[in-house]
Chains A and B, each alone.
Chain A
Amino acid sequence: MQVDVNLAACEGHGLCAQVSPGIYEVDDEGYVRMRVYEITPDLEPAAAAGARVCPVAALTVVK
């Protein structure tokens, strides 16, 4: 699984990082940043949950 990050849409609300702090963080500039290089199967549920709550749909799960 991969997460497609649309940085142009990201407004830095940080809900992804609130839900899945192990996967997402908001960087110093206020944009989402992935904290892992690879979403291994054990991380998939957290990655998907964090992507789901993005209020502006900037994170898309790609199977």
Chain B
Amino acid sequence: MPGSAARVETDIDMFGADFVRNPFPAIARMREQSAAVYSTKWDFYVLTRYDDVRAVAADWQTFTSSQGVALTPEINSAIEGTILSTDPPGHTVLRGILAEQLAPRGLGKIRADMSAYAQQVVAEQVARREFDAVVDISRVFPINVVGDLVGLPAEGREHLQPGADATFAGFGPFGDYLIAHVEEMGKYHAWLDTMGDRSKLLPGGWGEAIMDAVDAGKISQLSATRLITAFLTAGMDTTVNAISALIRLFAERPDVWRALKNDRSLAGPIFEEILRYHSPVVGFWRVATQDTLIGDVMIPAGAKVQLNWAAANHDPAKYANPGEFLLERNPIDHVAFGYGPHACAGQGLARMEAVTLLEALADQIDTIELTGKPVQSLNPIVRGLESVPVRVTAA
């Protein structure tokens, strides 16, 4: 093809444990080699440069979500027609259902309750002195915040985090991690399938607002159940892992912790930088609707491209010393929430959860240290932590 360079290919397994443990050196090599490296193993082009990832995320006409945003046909057929895998204008309708609740303008009225709950969760752990930040805070706070907002019954919430985690893994290939967690995914979806029912959902919650949209004829019953699933799944593992990464950071970087203790207004910038630095969600896929040049690589119509958010957030052309957590960076244009029409609809909520929790931590804790080595998760799609054991002293 005229104007396009020879295709750079890779056969590395971007979903295997070795890569997942520390993907950034291999990603840096790919980013240097080509704007779009072709994976021979999985048949897609991986985009690693910030400008390309952002531009493609915005250009839904050329890079559609409607032909699948996951790697496998099985998952793509399961999510066909959902908010994740539709383009405007259908996508705009689905996104509009909870827009008023999820937009920051709708969140103001829940801040006080959220803050009180953050203080309670932190107080319970400060009383224990030693705890696992992942198990006892990260997997408790966002799950109950989102569970309460949606109006889910308390019973069954234990399925949420493991189920969402496995569901995210399902966006990649059928590898070791997914196979080991597929049972959790099954239980989670079986439970969620019973939630598209008013009698299960508490009045006044977001679940009820979704059911109202069914009654108003805006969406089908199936769409409603899928929308509840999409919001719950998206609201779990992402925030859970960002919070785990933050608490680990505070234990490892007393300078950052002290800075927050001295100035609560740093909670927002610290959250933005951990999102860039840790990048909980690795990436999703799009399909090219026509032959398109990315850099000097011709992406043929019908080809899959991976928008690698983590790679974009570590592009040194955009963020100098990307492997360093810098307190002063405040990188609010990171793509950890994606970008464009499919940018995370819950990002305002995630910011509020993080800030209220950081305020509670800073209010109640003086010092925080690790009592053991943090354990990384090997989920290939959501970069996570299984354990961050800490000891704290009360403020």
Contacts and interface: CB of A to CB of B under 8 A. Distances in A.
Interface string B103-118: 1111000000000000
A12 B340 contact: no
Contact of B332 (A8, A9, A53): A53
B319 interface: no
A53 B335 CA distance: 10
A30 B99 CA distance: 12
B326 interface: no
Nearest to B96: A8
Contacts of B106: 30
A52 interface: yes
What size tier do the contact residues of chain A reach?
10 to 19
Nearest to A27: B105
Interface string A1-41: 00000001101111100110000001001110000000000
A19 B103 CA distance: 19
A12 B339 contact: no
A55 interface: yes
A14 B339 contact: no
A38 B102 CA distance: 32
A15 B272 CA distance: 12
Contacts of B103: 11-13, 30
Interface string B86-101: 0000001000000100
Contact of B104 (A8, A12, A57): A12
- A interface SS class: loop
A19 B105 CA distance: 19
A52 B106 CA distance: 24
Nearest to A15: B332
B347 A13 contact: yes
B44 interface: no
A56 interface: yes
Given A19-B332, A56-B343, A29 B105 contact: yes
B348 A11 contact: yes
B74 interface: no
Contacts of B104: 11-14, 26, 30
Contact of A55 (B92, B102, B105, B343): B343
A56 B332 contact: no
Contact of A12 (B105, B333, B341): B105
Interface in B335-353: 337, 339-341, 343-345, 347-348
Contacts of B339: 55, 57
B341 A11 contact: no
Contacts of B92: 8
Contacts of B332: 15, 18-19, 53
Nearest to A60: B58
Contact of B341 (A29, A30, A52, A57): A57
Contacts of A31: 105
Interface string A43-63: 000000000110111000000
With a 10 A CB-CB cut-off, give which of A13, A30, A56 has the most chain B CB atoms: A56
Interface string B49-84: 000000000100000000000000000000000000
B317 to A, nearest CB: 15
B218 to A, nearest CB: 16
Contact of B348 (A13, A19, A29, A57): A13
B99 A11 contact: yes
A-B CB proximity, top 9 nearest: A30-B105, A11-B103, A12-B105, A53-B333, A57-B340, A12-B104, A55-B343, A56-B343, A12-B103
29 contacts: A9-B341, A11-B99, A11-B103, A11-B104, A11-B105, A11-B345, A11-B348, A12-B104, A12-B348, A13-B103, A13-B104, A13-B347, A13-B348, A15-B333, A18-B332, A26-B105, A29-B105, A30-B103, A30-B105, A31-B105, A52-B333, A53-B332, A53-B333, A55-B337, A55-B339, A55-B344, A56-B341, A56-B343, A57-B58
Given A18-B332, A55-B337, A56-B341, 5 more contacts: A12-B104, A13-B348, A26-B105, A31-B105, A57-B343
Interface of B: 58, 92, 99, 102-106, 332-333, 337, 339-341, 343-345, 347-348
